[in-house]
Amino acid sequence: MRVVVQRVLGAQVEVESEVVGRIERGLLVYVSVGNNDTCNDAKFIAEKVGGLRVFGDDEGKMNLSVKDVGGKVLAVSNFTLHGDCRKGRRPGFDAAAEPKTAEGLYDEVCKLIAKQGIAVEKGVFGAHMKVESINDGPVTFMLDSSKLF
């Protein structure tokens, strides 16, 4: 499982001209499920996202988590994080999980983050979405449950 985590002052996701998820201060998290991912991968990612200390403390050091600052998470499914662009000009998506499996694990990540006491807003799985964000920093991290990076 791969995610891109962005610290934001605000973010929202829109589907067919309707806002389906919106947060103020928090984390915008793009989630991609791979072919071999399991609930263990979802657990790893949820714990990392919930505990990632990327918000500044009183001294400006990144020592606080999204929960510590009372922030929220906006989770958006994004299979293109498993896109392979090493050959040719068209990305290949063989490493991405099939939609049914991916949706279940995406939902599991969201549930596990929420179980940590963090409010979670979501996009619509499989929909064409418009995502707006106001990045804070910018502060952006990539996580991979296989620990490839």
Series of mean pLDDT values for 10-residue runs along the chain (149 residues): 98 98 98 98 98 97 98 98 96 97 98 98 98 98 93
DSSP for residue 134: E
With beta carbons less than 8 A apart as the criterion, state whether 5 and 141 touch: yes
- Specify whether domain 2-144 bears CATH 3.40.50.300: no
The pLDDT value given to residue 134: 98
The pLDDT value given to residue 140: 98
Q: Where are the domains of the chain?
A: 2-144
The three-state secondary structure class of 106 is helix
The pLDDT value given to residue 38: 98
Compute how many other C-beta atoms are within 10 angstroms of the C-beta atom of residue 146.
Answer: 12
The pLDDT value given to residue 79: 97
Please work out, in degrees rounded to the nearest 5, the angle formed at the alpha carbon of residue 7 by the alpha carbons of 6 and 13: 65
- List Cα–Cα distances, 110 to 14, 63, 69, 133, 135, in angstroms: 18, 23, 19, 19, 21
The pLDDT value given to residue 45: 98
The pLDDT value given to residue 149: 82
Determine which one of 38, 80, 101, 140 is catalytic. Answer: 80
Active-site annotation holds for 80: yes
How far is Cα of residue 68 from the mean position of the Cα atoms in its chain? 18
The pLDDT value given to residue 148: 86
- Quick check: pTM over 0.95? yes
As a whole number of angstroms, the distance between CA 81 and CA 95 comes to: 10
The pLDDT value given to residue 7: 98
With beta carbons less than 8 A apart as the criterion, state whether 37 and 97 touch: yes
